A = this chain, B = another copy of it.
Amino acid sequence: MKLKLIIAALFLSVNVFAQNDKETLKTIYSQSLTNGKAYQWLDHLSNQIGGRLSGSVNAEKAVQYTKTELQKLGLDKVWLQEVMVPKWERGEKEIGYFTTLGKQVNVNICALGGSVATPNNGLKAKVVEVKSFEELAKLGTSVKGKIVFFNGAMNPELIHTFEAYGGCSKQRYAGAYEAGKLGALGVIVRSLNLRQDNLPHTGSMGYLDLPNNQRIPSAAISTNDANALSAALKTDKNLEFYFKQNCKQFDDVLSYNVIGEITGSQFPNEYMVVGGHLDSWDLGDGSHDDGAGVVQSIDVLRLLKESGIKPKRTIRVVLFMNEENGLRGGKKYAEEAKRKNENHVFALESDSGGFTPRGFSFDCSEANLNKVLSWEPLFKPYLIHYFEKGYSGADIGPLKNDNIVLAGLRPDSQRYFDHHHAANDTFDAVNKRELELGAATMTSLIYLFDKYGTSNISDIKEIKN
């Protein structure tokens, strides 16, 4: 084919595509909003199975359930990928209170994931409040024999609530590590919640290389109780705090990533991944974190089929195990992809809740981003405006290389941390339409990327042939 003809063909395709793409996105959104399956899958995952902590019976039920549902979709391939995961159990409901000026004030606490238990009868000690690791470092070994109370609050001025979360999640993860090194007896951490309420929010913590005798119990306290404790400490430095938890870490157990694929019709060796994580914390039923991402990702493949789209590239849904306390599923998937020399060109994760989608953040080269930005007008009728460089998702992170486009769905984040890792992360907090709009938005991006790729090398080759 002569160059002029190629250019003419390209020009023609662009125009034809433009109209097709508008119609295709309309079909995808209409299918999702009138015939979506995400909400009913989430209902089962949340209400019939419930919280799905790695290594738990529920996590295995979720593996079997989603595998069966993927099989029902008539995909080209569905399989389980083995992965060893940590197993930690909360045990009995935790108890916490403080005594001040002859009065006992009960507080709402929960063990942080990965924490050791308190002694059988609980732990009682004086409290030192800090708001940062810098403050803790200044106190040094004077915290010995005490409970360190990390009371750093999420910054309400940040519009992106994930930034506020990032700003103080370190005290949850490493609080016990830093305080344990200094000889503290225990750690209480203000819940990572922008709202004032009575719910403690769990989440992972780690002891890293600390020897066993420095591994101290660590718990989250609700924002209301954190304020009450802080206020009480102002008038009574000798206040004592008591808490009791009998959580336990077991040996690693076998679990699975659940994977399904539509094999590409033209470039079967170019892989595109869409996923969320199947495990959740144990306090709620993990509807937003990340039941929503799981069911949206499954529905992406179903919506492609229902909308009559036959992908050129291989589209895989990956339901990752163990994002919350180990990321073993994400690491395992990337490891196997590398071992098999699979060419992953794109990965999209939904792990920011099932709220109204606002757009995507992209972790990729400038050239790839510019290509993606050219699709922005197609999304405007669906009120999808946000296309920015940024973080994609924890599970797909290990796939990162110079060529891949990593993307994260960005739903409205204002309510997310009201529910995150807490007992109110439940099905009733998810709105059906918001969830479905997210699934349609993800499907649309997958459709466009499959069709146009980014570098266009494959597509130009295709036209030449």
Residues of A at under 8 Å CB distance from B?
Answer: 29-30, 33-34, 156-157, 159, 161, 194-195, 356, 358, 381-383, 385-386, 412, 414-415, 418, 431-434, 437
Cβ of A332 to closest chain B Cβ, rounded Å = 35
Take A385-B385, A386-B383, A412-B412 as given contacts and tell me if A156 and B433 are in contact as well, using a CB distance cutoff of 8 Å. Answer: yes
Residues of B within 8 A of A156 (CB): 33-34, 433
**Which B residue sits closest to A381, measured CB to CB?**
B159
* Contact yes or no, B157 A33, CB < 8 A: yes
Is B385's CB under 8 angstroms from A432's CB? no
CB-defined contacts of A33 to chain B, threshold 8 Å: 156-157
Which 8 A/B pairs are nearest by Cβ-Cβ distance? A385-B385, A33-B156, A30-B157, A414-B433, A414-B434, A356-B412, A415-B431, A356-B414
The complex places the Cα of A29 from the Cα of B433 at a distance, in Å, of 29
* Contact indicator B157/A29 (Cβ below 8 Å): yes
- Closest residue of chain B to A386, judged by CB? B383
Among B30, B159, B432, B433, point to the contact of A383 (Cβ < 8 A).
B159
On chain B, the residues within 8 Å of A381 by CB distance are 159
A159 to B29, CA, bound (A): 9
- Chain B residues near A159 (CB-CB < 8 A): 29, 381-383, 437
Q: Which residues of B contact A386 (CB under 8 A)?
A: 383, 385
Q: Shortest CB–CB separation between residue A33 and chain B, in angstroms? A: 5
A437 in complex: contacting residue of B356, B414, B431, B434, CB < 8 Å: B414
Name the distance in Å between A386's Cβ and chain B's nearest Cβ. 7
* Shortest Cβ distance from A157 into B: residue: B30
Bound-state Cα–Cα, A358 to B358, Å: 10
Bound complex: CA A194 to CA B33 (Å) = 11
